[in-house]
Structure 1
Amino acid sequence: MIFACRNVWSRKTPLNILNRKTTRFWQFSTKAVKEEKVKFPGVTESYFTDKMQFIQSVNPIPTYRVMDRQGKVLDPAQEPQVSKEFALKIYKDMITLNILDLILYEAQRQGRISFYMTNYGEEAYIGSSAGLDSQDVIFGQYREAGVLLYRGFTIDEFMNQCYSNEKDYGKGRQMPVHYGSKKLNFQTISSPLATQIPQASGAAYALKRAGNKNCVMCYFGEGAASEGDFHAALNLAATMQCPVIFFCRNNGFAISTPAFEQYKGDGVASRGIGYGINSIRVDGNDVWAVYNVTKAARQLAVEENRPVLIEAMTYRISHHSTSDDSSAYRSKEEVENWMRFDNPIVRLRRWLENKNWWNEQEDKSYRTFIRKEILKSFSKAEKLQKPSITDLFNDVYDRPTPNIIIQREKLKKLIEKYPNNYPLKIFKNEGEDL
Structure 2
Amino acid sequence: MGNKTTVASVLAPLARAVLGARSTIRFELWDGSTIEPEGACAGTIRIRSRDALSHMVWAPGELGIGRAYVSGAVDLDGDVFAILRSLADTAPSNAELGAGTAWQAIGAAKRLGALGHRPEPPPEEARPRRGPLHSKRRDAAAISHHYDVGNDFYRLVLGPSMTYSCARFVAEDDDGAAGPNAAMSLEDAQRAKHDLICRKLDLRPGMRLLDVGCGWGSMAIHAAATYGVDVLGVTISRAQIEQARKRVEEAGLSSTVEIRLTDYRDLRGEQFDAISSIGMFEHVGTKRADTYFQTLRALLRPRGRLLNHAISSPGGSVMGPRSFVGRYVFPDGELVDVGEVVLAMQRNGFEVRDVEALREHYALTLRAWVANLESAWEQAVSLTSEGRARIWRLYMAASALGFEDGGLGLHQVLGVVPDAHGHTGMPGNRRSWR
TM-score for both structures, normalised by structure 2: 0.30
More strand by share: 2
Select the structure of larger CA radius of gyration. 1
Task: For CA contacts below 8 A with separation 6 or more, give which structure has more relative contact order.
Answer: 1
TM-score for both structures, normalised by structure 1: 0.30
